[in-house]
Amino acid sequence: MITIVDYGMGNLRSVQKAFKFIGSDAVITSSAKKILKSSLVVLPGVGSFSAAMENLKKLGLIDVIYDVINIKKKPFLGLCLGLQILFERSEEGNCRGLGIFEGEVKKYSFKKSLKIPHMGWNNIKLQMTNDKLQIFKDIENNSYFYFVHSYYVKPKDKNIIASTTKYGIDFTSSVLYKNIFATQFHPEKSQENGLRLLKNYVDYTCN
């Protein structure tokens, strides 16, 4: 069973529909019991970092996520805000995150005419060359995915960076470490490439 964690932060139905399209049923839930029993846990999110952390706390899901990742070591997929809250702290509200990864979430600050948020299609440059990149099987390097964000993650450990993207600066657009894969872009909005990525991840982790 695939569970999509419902903590009141946006695009849950579109993520669920994307999994259904690739032939994988996914349940939207805030039940700790269901999340802990699932074969793959998905943490999506749209909105503010501080609201996300507050909602997870109110629902009693912070310890559940720690258990999923660190104790049960289940496959974990973070999407957009679900990537950012894995880090220690965000400049958005000067708020503490889950601290799964060392590093922080930074706000874009451009002197030039680049718009914030970074919204629309942009390409990703793969940074890993080992077998873990089976997640990107049949997806060409520099393929385009869909982004909507005003903040970006800055990992302390560069070895977890799976891909980067250029928008004024080169920023981390996905990370991969042990049982965790997380993206700044939205696979569920990225058409063929996004659906292929989700299918690869399910095949890589659940079969």
pLDDT tens per residue, range 157-172 = 999 999 999 999 999 9
Look at strands 2-5 and 40-43 and give their pairing.
Answer: parallel
Residue 80 annotated as catalytic: yes
Q: 85: domain range?
A: 2-206
Helix (H/G/I), strand (E/B), else coil: 174:
strand
Q: Is residue 183 within 8 Å of 174, Cβ to Cβ?
A: yes
Residue 186 annotated as catalytic: yes
Q: What is the pLDDT of residue 20?
A: 97
Q: Is residue 170 within 8 Å of 164, Cβ to Cβ?
A: yes
**Residue of 54, 88, 188, 206 marked catalytic:** 188
Q: What is the pLDDT of residue 207?
A: 66
What sign has the CA pseudo-torsion 145, 149, 150, 156? negative
**Residue of 54, 80, 92, 149 marked catalytic:** 80
Q: CA-to-CA distance for 92 and 86, rounded, in angstroms?
A: 14
Name the phi and psi angles at 117, rounded to 5: -75, 160
- The H-or-E segment that residue 181 falls in is strand 180-183
According to DSSP, the residues that pair with 147 across neighbouring strands are: 120
What does each C-alpha distance from 5 to 48, 60, 66, 110, 168 come to in angstroms?
Answer: 16, 12, 13, 34, 32
Residue 118 annotated as catalytic: no
- The one-digit pLDDT tens for each residue of the chain (207 residues) are 999 999 999 789 999 999 999 999 999 999 999 999 999 999 999 999 999 999 999 999 999 999 999 999 999 999 999 999 999 999 998 899 999 999 999 999 876 778 999 999 999 999 986 566 789 999 999 999 999 999 999 999 999 999 999 999 999 999 999 999 999 999 999 999 999 999 999 998 876
* pLDDT, tens only, 92-130: 988 999 999 999 999 998 767 789 999 999 999 999 865
pTM above 0.75, yes or no: yes
* Structure letter (DSSP) for residue 158: G
Q: Give the residue among 155, 10, 5, 11 at the shortest CA–CA distance from 65.
A: 5
* Mean pLDDT taken over the chain: 94
Q: What is the pLDDT of residue 135?
A: 92
Structural domain tally of the chain?
Answer: 1
Q: Give the residue among 151, 44, 148, 171 at the shortest CA–CA distance from 95.
A: 151
**Residue of 92, 104, 118, 186 marked catalytic:** 186
CATH number of the domain to which 15 belongs = 3.40.50.880
Q: Is residue 127 within 8 Å of 162, Cβ to Cβ?
A: yes
